Structure 1
Amino acid sequence: MTTSDEKLEGGGRMSGITTPPEGGWGWMIVAGCFLSTICIRAVTRCVSMFFVEFQLHFEKDYSSTAWIHSLIDCTTMLCAPLGGFLANRLSCRATMMLGGLLSSAGLVLSSFASSLEFLYVSLGVITGLGFALSYTPAIAMVGRYFSERKALAYGIAMSGSGIGTFVLAPVVQLLLERYSWRGALLILGGLVSNLCVCGALMRPLTLAEDSKLVESMNLNNIDAKIENSGLKTSPAESLASTKTSSRSRCLSLESREEYGFLLIPDFLILSVSFLFLAYGCSAPVVYLVPYALSMGLERQRAAFLMSIFGVGGIVGNITFGWITDRKCLKRYRMLSYVVAIGMAGFCCMFLHLLHSFSLLVPFSLLYGYFDGAYVALIPVVTSDIVGSSCLTSALGVVYFLHAIPYLISPPIGGWLVDRTGDYAATFSLSGASFIFSSVVLAAAMLVRHFQKSAARSSPAAQLILM
């Protein structure tokens, strides 16, 4: 619902809105985010399909080759706060379009790579930086247009990752066979340039809660300060000095409001769990295709596993989004998130025991389902804790926390494969990390539950209730 003074300003900005529209142009925002996750997360996942090609072409071991995927994931997450910062200072639209240009250029440059180190920079750093500038603003915009149907909107938007993986995996394998890895990267560069189109859809939206800080620093305050200022300076100098001081104080206050969520205990606990989650989720995606090939599967069948993984992600995105938007289940969003993480961990723990295509298919479907579930719920549970006004900055921090685990997980997994000769230790470590992430949140939820129960049973609480 919006107020009667809703209007569209010259720059395409909607103002005078007291609550998120819950639809309208919001569905175009969801479509833009959906396409963005295809171009970012699905393409990043499909980079794992280049693993064997890079390894054979440059004659490198598992650990060295794994740094490519690590760097692109790490840079995307490490620079996520930069994406949030630029989106708040410029606009989500401009930031996403800049990211689209950078990531497309990185993929095109990668098609001319002459060494693995070249790919570290072009594919890992440049493309990753472009993805970072596009990813955070796209996800944050969905949270600004939806509140009551937020989980469903995010479920649809984030399903782009699964749908993109389902479609792109066989396409990328076909491109690799027909045009080699260089031609495939060049074509992916053209695909990723569509992030500029997605950015153009991001119409800015100003909610009532965003304007409270600005309204408190209005011209009346400046006039009052001018009247109280001394007579040693001219009126013009006094006005300029006071405006500068007010502007500085406003920026300082705005920064405190923008990053005040960092002191919320629930957000700090969530942040700790993200570190273990990020470590757990990276290696299984990177090594699923190489593991299938090591089991003797044909390349097309190995690529098909990534498509199945994508299908599971689609179902997980949408079903968990729809279910957790029900009024009776909204209070259990965090519990749903914890269950999804824990189940993904159990799937990973048993992956090394599966040695045939008929067993790897249900794994890919089940693991993809829970992966899609928690991916869709990450921005939802974050928004529930920090609020929609701080969501852009909070998501920047959330994805920043993914950076180092994303960086070290695939190389450590590759090192374990090189040392042990199989994938058991790599997948088991990922599964354990998933499970520990869910245990951290479950423990925090139990402590909070017992604290509330103790507060209700205390004499003081009973007096209040009476």
Structure 2
Amino acid sequence: MAPATATKLGYTPPDGGWGWAVVFGAFISIGFSYAFPKSLTIYFKEIQEYFFVSYSEIAWLSSVMLASMYAGGPVSSLLVNRYGSRPVVMVGGLMVSTGMILASFGRTIVHLYLCVGVIGGLGLAFNLQPALTIIGTYFQVKRPLANGLAMTGSPVVLFTLAPLNQFLFDSFGWRGSFLILGSIVLNCCVAGALMRPVNKNAQSKSDPPECNGAAAEETATSDTSTQSANLLTKENQEESRSQGCVHKIIDPTLFKHRGFLIYLIGNVVMFFGFFAPVVFLAPYAKHQGIDEYSAAFLLSIFALVDMFIRPATGFIGNTKWIRPRIQYFFSFAVSYNGVCHLICPLLPGYVGLVVYAIFFGLAFGMLSALLFEVLMDLVGAHRFSSAVGLVTIIECGPVLLGPPLSGALVDIFGEYKYMYYACGVFMLVPGIFFFIMHYFNYKKLDEERRQTVALEMRTCDEAVQLKMSQDGDST
């Protein structure tokens, strides 16, 4: 097992026990958060024809839903810090269910934007953020593995929903299907019930583990305030939360954090091409004359490969060879996605799309399993909630604009290959950026660590010399 990264939580995470039940709850919650917008693409062609809208206009449906999910991150973080993960996830499940039921009565595409996109997207935000945050409170040494298992929920749910949605559409139409999906998504409430808060008082205080990159860049004031907040008694904990909640969600000091800035800049570019290839996979197949079930089966193939690669990525990321330089692993995953999209239009026929779905599933699963783990590695578990809140609200711009812009390319040129070329560039460029910047970041962190050790040794030597001189004077 790789050495644990540093934590300033003020307690020792259990790294197991009820934490595995929490991982299962996060598995369901994260699964619906990421898979639900993708699975709805099965209905895009029919909804597009029903409302007589363009490719760009129908793409706004998933785009608004994903953007609302990202934009709702800070609000979700605020509620998690105030009430905990369990009630927030349960409310989120009710919101998504309500949005889908209301959408089943929709008469215009704008109605679907509001119900599925805004209400459903905010509900997914209340599912995603708490699930990501609570894993960091239960796991430290095994955190990459726990994150990898939890993130596997997305392909598992997508693998199930893709053929199910096609069956529901054939049996009940898109309106009846939305009504049924509104009841299925209530499973998120069950997942939320599993997210019991960690018992911090029962955990023994141990010596701080080995420092990582995040610890080297943090100030003593931040460390002290974080430890103090976690050691508060139950009587004054609620008061402290109400006073410091906004600062914990909107933490401006993160914009001075070198690793956070690298992550943010690369991700903003990356998310312009992140979701569109999945959103348009089934419509692309139907555009080539492939039948509906075969087009839906492409999503199942994609999800099946994604399902197995995510826990494998978590296991590999937790090894002693990868964990200390996990940012390089993430850089490779981003670049690999870009290469897959660039090759996609060159693969002929349905067999070519199957090959693309397999390799894209590998690439997407690797990236998704590492997406939040590398952020936690950079900023530390205790600042992760604030970092996720800032990242998601900034990323909602490219998440919102990416699929409609890709759809506009299809409207303009009448074919999908230019959309896939554009997405490939948007993924490959930040992948190269990550490789270069993390090389310099790791180099800088090593220099800072050596300087810190040298300073401590010099201080220790001075203290020893001072004590020896005092002893000599006394004799």
TM bracket (short chain): 0.7 to 0.9
2:247 counterpart letter in structure 1:
S
Structure 1 residue 390: Cα displacement? 2.1
Name whichever of 432-441 and 68-77 sits farther off: 432-441
Contact 1:295 1:355 in 2 (8 A): no
Pairwise mapping of residues 203-352 of structure 1 onto structure 2 (< 5 A)?
Answer: 203-205=196-198, 207=200, 212-214=227-229, 251-252=243-244, 255=247, 259=251, 260-352=253-345
Structure 1 residue 216: Cα displacement? 8.0
Contact 2:259 2:379 in 1 (8 A): no
Choose from 431, 437, 441 the match for 2:430.
437
| Cα distance in 1 between the residues matched to 2:78 and 2:321 | 36
Name whichever of 160-169 and 204-213 sits farther off: 204-213
Contact 1:324 1:332 in 2 (8 A): no
Pairwise mapping of residues 36-435 of structure 1 onto structure 2 (< 5 A)?
Answer: 36-205=29-198, 207=200, 212-214=227-229, 251-252=243-244, 255=247, 259=251, 260-435=253-428
Query: Identity over the aligned pairs, expressed in percent?
Result: 33
1:72-118 deviation digits (Å, cap 9, x = unpaired): 01100011111111100111111111111111100111111111010
| Cα distance in 2 between the residues matched to 1:94 and 1:248 | 20
Contact 1:17 1:206 in 2 (8 A): no
The verdict on how the C-alpha distance between 1:248 and 1:352 changes in structure 2, with shifts beyond 3 A counting, is same
| Cα distance in 2 between the residues matched to 1:256 and 1:29 | 23
1:171 counterpart letter in structure 2:
L
Q: Normalized against structure 1, the TM-score is what?
A: 0.84
1:300-327 deviation digits (Å, cap 9, x = unpaired): 1100000011012112211110011112
1:207-231 deviation digits (Å, cap 9, x = unpaired): 4699732488889xxxxxxxxxxxx
Structure 1 residue 370: Cα displacement? 1.4
Contact 2:67 2:121 in 1 (8 A): yes
1:282-303 deviation digits (Å, cap 9, x = unpaired): 1101111111111111111100
State the SS of the aligned residue for 1:202: coil
Structure 1 residue 378: Cα displacement? 1.5
The verdict on how the C-alpha distance between 1:252 and 1:310 changes in structure 2, with shifts beyond 3 A counting, is closer
- Structure 1, unmatched stretches of 5+, are 1-15, 220-242
The verdict on how the C-alpha distance between 1:325 and 1:216 changes in structure 2, with shifts beyond 3 A counting, is closer
Structure 1 residue 264: Cα displacement? 1.1
Structure 1 residue 451: Cα displacement? 4.6
Contact 1:274 1:401 in 2 (8 A): no
| Cα distance in 1 between the residues matched to 2:94 and 2:259 | 37
| Cα distance in 2 between the residues matched to 1:353 and 1:276 | 24
The verdict on how the C-alpha distance between 1:269 and 1:182 changes in structure 2, with shifts beyond 3 A counting, is same
Contact 2:93 2:187 in 1 (8 A): yes
| Cα distance in 2 between the residues matched to 1:158 and 1:455 | 33
Contact 2:284 2:416 in 1 (8 A): yes
Structure 1 residue 444: Cα displacement? 0.9
- Structure 2, unmatched stretches of 5+, are 1-8, 206-222, 459-475
Q: Normalized against structure 2, the TM-score is what?
A: 0.83
| Cα distance in 1 between the residues matched to 2:175 and 2:403 | 23
Structure 1 residue 328: Cα displacement? 2.7
Structure 1 residue 355: Cα displacement? 3.0
* Counterpart in the other structure of 2:5: none
1:127-178 deviation digits (Å, cap 9, x = unpaired): 0011111110011111211111111111111111111111111111111111
2:186 counterpart letter in structure 1:
S
State the SS of the aligned residue for 1:33: helix
Contact 1:93 1:202 in 2 (8 A): yes
State the SS of the aligned residue for 2:319: coil
